[in-house]
Amino acid sequence: MQPSGQASATSLPIGSDADLAWVRQQVRQYAAALGFGLVQQTKLVTAASELARNTLVHGGGGHAEITPLDNGRARGLRMSFVDSGPGIRDLELAMTDGYTTGGGLGLGLSGAKRLVQEFSVDTAPGRGTTVTAVAWVAQVPSSRPGMA
């Protein structure tokens, strides 16, 4: 794994439902390779699925950038979802549980935020949206002496 400053991002197009499946698959593969546990992998794939769907449905499509991270102490994964759509008019409202413009449960942005350690949204009406989520591999406690 390369240091975070040298890691190369993989860019994945988001323009169809098939692309959403490809993004989920790629996130799972990166997460497994980085050493994320199964529960963490599932959280990352769920967050990626929600954010990719938002990119497609609300942003009119765009792309995802998946970047492995290694800061010398921990490994992680950064996922950025970028569109050139209409932007989010009221970000505070959009981050509220239950708020929806698409008839869903309204847990997309707020739900994705709860599934990762770092989360940011860069948006403005007419300028599109970039949502970035970062998760770090949870450190598994060392086994006790004498334990296999």
CA dist 29 to 1, 36, 89, 116, Å? 14, 10, 34, 17
Tens digits of residue pLDDT in 32-79:
999 999 999 999 999 999 999 999 999 999 999 999 999 888 999 999
Candidates 125, 118, 112; CA nearest to 23 is: 112
Specify the pLDDT at position 3.
Answer: 41
Q: What are the backbone angles phi and psi of residue 111, rounded to the nearest 5°?
A: -65, -45
Tens digits of residue pLDDT in 75-120:
999 999 999 999 988 888 878 766 566 555 445 788 899 999 999 9
Strands (E), the chain: 10-14, 62-70, 75-83, 118-124, 128-136
What DSSP assignment string belongs to 132-148?
EEEEEPPPPPPPPTT--
Candidates 140, 142, 8, 11; CA nearest to 80 is: 11
Q: What is the pTM of this model?
A: 0.84
CA distance 145 to 31: 29
